[in-house]
Structures are given as C-alpha cells and as structure tokens.
Amino acid sequence: MHRKTITLALQGGGSHGAFTWGVLDRLLQDERIEIEGISGASAGAMNAVVMAYGLAAGGREGGRQALRDFWESVSMRAPFSVVPDMLKNRSGLAMNSAPPAGIRPLLSLTRYFSPYQLNPFDINPLRDILAQQVDFELLRAKGKIRLFIATTQVSTGTLKLFRNKQINIDVLLASACLPLLHRAVEINGEAYWDGGLTSNPPLFPLVQKCSARDMMVVLLHPEPRLKVPKTADEIWHRLTEMGFSSTFFTELQGLMLAQREARHGWIAFGKLERRLRQLNMHVVESQALMSQLSQHSKMNAQPAFIQGLYEEGRKCAGIWLQDNFRELGVRSSFRLASLFG
C-alpha cells in the first residue's frame, strides 16, 4: 500500500472542535494516510494530544477510541441545558445549535467580574477528563507524532509553543484558557492564556520542524460572516471571533509571501526555502455549517450537538479524500491567494 504523509494544523473553537474529531476519525480510518506532526490551539490542542496519546497506546484504533472517549466525556459533563432550536446543515442533519440557556447570563457577568471572582476554586472539568483519559508519561515516552501546542504568554502577549517532552495537563489547560472564564495557568513561574490569541493554529512549526510535503488545515471559524453585527452583544462577539481568527490569517499570509519568494528565487540555498517550494496546502472545512452557528454555540457541549459536528467532520473529510487524495505529494488542493483576493 502506498502511504502518503501529511501534517495537520488544527484550529481551536470550543465545542466546534468536535468537527475536527470527525475529520481525524476519518483520516485514521484511511491507512493510506500517515501523520508526521500536528499543531493546535485550544480545542485543536486537545484533539492533537488525545489522538497522539491514543496512537501511542493502541495504534489507529487506539487513536480513534481515545478521541471518542474524550468527546463523549465532554458531552456528558455539559453544564448547561439547551434551548430547543433546530437547524439543518447542508446534508439535512438536524443539530441542536442554540446556545446553552445558562451561557448568556454567565458571559454577561464576565464583563464585570473576573474568573478569580466568578470561579474562586478554579474549577475546570477538563482537568479531570484529561487526568482520567490521557497518560502523559506514556505520551512523552512513546508518542511518535511531533506536537506543537500553542499558548499565549500573559506577560509578553507572545506565542509560546510546547513540544512533546514538555506536554502535560497544565500545558493543555493553558492552551484552552479563555481569559474571561478561567484563571491564567501557571507553568514554570509564567502565566499563560489561550493559544488561539496568538496563533490559531501555528503553521510555521510544521514547515520548519517536519518533512512532510503536505499540510492539512482543519478550519472551524467561518470567513466571511455576511451578516453585519448591529446589537452590542453581536458586535462584542464578532470582535472576539475576529481576534481569534486574525492570527491565523496573518500567519497564512506570511506563509504565502514566504512561499512566493522561495519559488521565484533562482536557487533555493537553504532547507527552509526548499521546504517552502515543495509545500502543498490543503483545507478541510464546512463553511456552510459553521456560518450558521453562533459564537455562543462554541460552549454548547450537549451530546446531540457534539455528535452532529462529529458526523459533519467525518463527511467532509471523506469527501476531501475522495476528491483530493491523489493530489497529496503533487500539488496543493487549496490556493492561499484565494483568501486574500
């Protein structure tokens, strides 16, 4: 069997990360695909580490089961009820898309009170889930996939990447630490917030530290949003969304420009220039679905919603493999310039 090697860049987006779970599940099912490295922020980091641990512990099926166990645990511990509000995505799948009923009052409070006041005991269900389901010692010792987990250093406002040997529960919680909802996570005397604030997800580490010619990005943020926000709540949430997506587009544009310069040069002297010349970009996304989901729905962890996103992710990955597998190692199936006109 002829296998093709890729790297993965996984965006963060709260419970929308269940879409990425579906994509990864479908990729793991295809034995023609090998994964060399994964970068991720927030939910993307969770997916990356959980899958890498599962692969180290039990191969492809172990990776699939680890992801399923993680997301089922997240959905079982969903703290809010869901307002009945159904939409159908392009495949006709009915999904609970409304924000959880308790989310709006909670987010309103975050504008006036810090997480140190609202959550004095620093309760985070993800800590218990990760402690129960991921053996970090085994991951550090036997994990073969190169991991690049994004966090944001609070003191400098800059990106801090953690690699395989450094990854533990605190690193993952830091990568998913929303400043308005959770206390900053302290690691070796430094405080960290959500990695999506500075890189969502990191791209250049996959170019610099890996050798695979193909990078697949799993996108969760809809671009563009055609509806102009007009209420104070809509404007506030669109600004938040833009903050998390703008870092990705900035890095993507930088990669595009670097690749253009490398390809226009007469001779590629350095390793990085040669990598940029050979790099192929691919994207798996579901803009039709994501554009219908509200910013609040990223905190909807109800089982029906999680399962619907998973199924959509599997479907989109299956379509991509059917249409583009032969392009791997040959050419990009996605043009960077298309995002920038």
pLDDT digits (tens, 9 = 90+) for 167-180: 999 999 999 998 88
Alpha-carbon distance of 297 to 299, in angstroms, equals 5
- What's the CA gap between 165 and 162, in Å, rounded? 8
Rg of the chain taking only CA atoms, in angstroms: 19
Domain residue spans in the chain?
4-81+89-339
- Confidence check: pLDDT of 25 > 90: yes
Of 66-80, 117-131, 291-305, the range with the lowest mean pLDDT is 117-131
Catalytic residue among 175, 194, 199, 333: 194
The per-residue pLDDT for range 182-213, each reduced to its tens digit, is 899 999 999 999 999 999 999 999 999 999 99
What pLDDT is attached to residue 264? 78
42 included as an active-site residue: yes
- Read off the pLDDT of residues 282-300 as tens digits, 9 standing for 90 and up: 999 998 888 888 777 888 8
Q: If you classify domain 4-81+89-339 with CATH, what class do you get?
A: alpha beta
Average pLDDT along the chain = 84
Q: Under a CB-based contact definition with an 8 Å cutoff, are residues 35 and 27 in contact?
A: yes
N-to-C CA span, the chain: 39
Q: Does the N-terminal peptide bond of residue 120 adopt cis geometry, omega within 30 degrees of 0?
A: no
- For position 81, what pLDDT does the model report? 36
Output phi, psi for 208, to 5 deg. -80, -35
Query: Percent of the chain at pLDDT above 90?
Result: 56
297 is catalytic: no
Measuring CA to CA, how many Å separate 71 from each of 301, 304, 306? Answer: 9, 12, 8
**Residue 92: band (very low, low, confident or very high) from pLDDT cuts 50, 70, 90:** very low
Contact 66, 53 (CB under 8 A): yes
Residues 170 and 184: their CA atoms lie apart, in Å, by: 10
Catalytic residue among 15, 25, 39, 42: 42
Entry pTM: 0.87
Give 226-271 pLDDT, tens digit per residue. 678 888 777 767 777 777 777 888 888 888 888 888 877 665 567 7
CA dist., res. 27 & res. 20, Å (int): 10
According to DSSP H, which parts of the chain are helical?
17-29, 43-76, 103-109, 115-118, 125-133, 136-142, 169-175, 204-209, 232-264, 271-278, 287-290, 303-324
For residue 126, how many other CB atoms are within 10 A of its CB? 18
**φ/ψ (deg, to 5) at 119:** -130, 70
Q: Please tell me the predicted confidence (pLDDT) of residue 113.
A: 56
Q: What is the pLDDT of residue 336?
A: 63
d(CA 101, CA 122): 22
Please give the pLDDT value at position 111. Answer: 57
